[in-house]
A and B are shown apart, each in its own frame.
Chain A
Amino acid sequence: MDLHFSEADHLFRARARAWLAANVPNEVRPAHGPESAQFDRDWQRKLFDHGWAGVAWPSEYGGLGLSGLQQVIWYEELARARAPHHINTMYIGLMHAGPTVIARGTEEQKAFHLPRILSGEAIWCQGFSEPNAGSDLASLKARGRIEGDHLVVNGSKMWTTDAQHADYQELLIRTGEDGLRHKGLTWVICDMKSPGIQIKPIRTMLGDEHVNMVFYDDVRIPLSNVVGELDQGWSTAMATLSFERGLGFIGDQLELYERVKRAIDLAGKTRLDDGRLALEDDGIAQRLSSIKADCMAIRAMTLADIAETDRTGMPGPKGSMMKLMVTTTHKALSEVAGEILGWSFLEFGGDRTAHPWTYDYLWSWVFSISGGTSEIQREITADRVLGLPKSR
Chain B
Amino acid sequence: MYLAPDGEEAEIATAASDFLVGAMPIDRLHVAGSADMSAELRALFGEMGWFALAVPEAMGGSGLSAVEHTLFFREAGRQCGPIDLLAQSLAANVAQDAGLRAALIAGEVAVGLLVADGTQFRLLGSSDAAWGLTVTEGQAALYPLASIAPAALPSLDPANSMRLLGALPEPAHQVTGSHISQLGQLGAAAMLVGMAECALDLIVEYAKVRETFGRKIGSWQAVRHPCADMAVRVEAARSQLWYAAAAMKEGRADAAAHLDAAKHLANQAALANADSNIQLHGGIGVTDEHHAHLLLKHALLLSRLFGGKRSLLTRLLHAELED
A381 near B232: Cβ-Cβ < 8 Å: yes
User: CA–CA, A325 to B237, complex, Å?
Assistant: 11
- Residues 207-221 of B contacting A (Cβ, < 8 Å): 207-208, 215-216, 218-221
B4 near A386: Cβ-Cβ < 8 Å: no
- Residue from the list B204, B249, B252 in contact with A388, Cβ < 8 A: B204
Binding stretch for chain B, among A160-168, A219-227, A299-307: A299-307
Q: Indicate whether B1 reaches chain A with its CB closer than 8 angstroms.
A: yes
A379 near B221: Cβ-Cβ < 8 Å: yes
- Residues 250-309 of B contacting A (Cβ, < 8 Å): 250, 252, 257-258, 260-261, 264-265, 309
Instruction: Assess A389 versus B3: contact at CB under 8 Å? Given A296-B258, A378-B229.
Output: no
Q: Indicate whether B59 reaches chain A with its CB closer than 8 angstroms.
A: no
Instruction: Assess A301 versus B235: contact at CB under 8 Å? Given A388-B208, A389-B208.
Output: yes
User: Is the interface on chain B under 10, 10 to 19, 20 to 34, or 35 or more residues?
Assistant: 35 or more
B231 near A4: Cβ-Cβ < 8 Å: no
- Residues 40-88 of A contacting B (Cβ, < 8 Å): 69, 76
Interface residue count for A (Cβ, 8 Å)?
A: 47
Q: Indicate whether A13 reaches chain B with its CB closer than 8 angstroms.
A: yes
Instruction: Assess A3 versus B237: contact at CB under 8 Å? Given A289-B317, A293-B264.
Output: no
A297 near B265: Cβ-Cβ < 8 Å: yes
User: CA–CA, A391 to B229, complex, Å?
Assistant: 17
Chain A, Cβ-Cβ closest to B221: A391
B1 near A69: Cβ-Cβ < 8 Å: yes
User: CA–CA, A2 to B9, complex, Å?
Assistant: 11
Chain B residues near A13: list those with CB within 8 A: 323
Q: Indicate whether B227 reaches chain A with its CB closer than 8 angstroms.
A: yes
B261 near A2: Cβ-Cβ < 8 Å: no
Encoded as 1 (CB less than 8 Å from any A CB) or 0, chain B from 44 to 63 comes to 00000000000000000000
Binding stretch for chain A, among B101-109, B137-145, B239-247: B239-247
Q: Indicate whether B67 reaches chain A with its CB closer than 8 angstroms.
A: yes
Q: How far is the CB of B205 from chain A (nearest CB, A)?
A: 10
A264 near B317: Cβ-Cβ < 8 Å: yes
Q: Indicate whether A273 reaches chain B with its CB closer than 8 angstroms.
A: no
Chain A residues near B245: list those with CB within 8 A: 1
B239 near A324: Cβ-Cβ < 8 Å: no
B2 near A2: Cβ-Cβ < 8 Å: yes
- Residues 336-378 of A contacting B (Cβ, < 8 Å): 375, 377-378
B317 near A386: Cβ-Cβ < 8 Å: no
Chain B, Cβ-Cβ closest to A329: B236
Chain A residues near B240: list those with CB within 8 A: 293, 296-297, 300
B227 near A324: Cβ-Cβ < 8 Å: no
Encoded as 1 (CB less than 8 Å from any B CB) or 0, chain A from 289 to 315 comes to 110111011111101100110010000
**Interchain residue pairs with CB less than 8 A apart (19):** A1-B9, A1-B245, A2-B249, A3-B243, A3-B246, A3-B252, A13-B323, A264-B317, A293-B260, A300-B236, A304-B3, A308-B4, A325-B236, A378-B224, A378-B225, A386-B204, A388-B223, A389-B215, A391-B220
Shortest 7 CB-CB contacts between residues of A and residues of B? A304-B3, A378-B228, A289-B313, A388-B218, A382-B224, A300-B239, A381-B228
Q: Can you add 17 more A-B contacts, CB < 8 Å, to A1-B67, A378-B224, A388-B218?
A: A1-B9, A2-B246, A3-B247, A3-B252, A264-B317, A289-B316, A292-B316, A293-B316, A297-B237, A301-B235, A304-B4, A307-B1, A307-B2, A307-B3, A311-B2, A387-B204, A390-B219
Residues of B in contact with A (beta carbons under 8 Å apart):
1-6, 9, 67, 200, 204, 207-208, 215-216, 218-221, 223-225, 227-229, 231-232, 235-237, 239-240, 242-243, 245-247, 249-250, 252, 257-258, 260-261, 264-265, 309-310, 312-314, 316-318, 321, 323
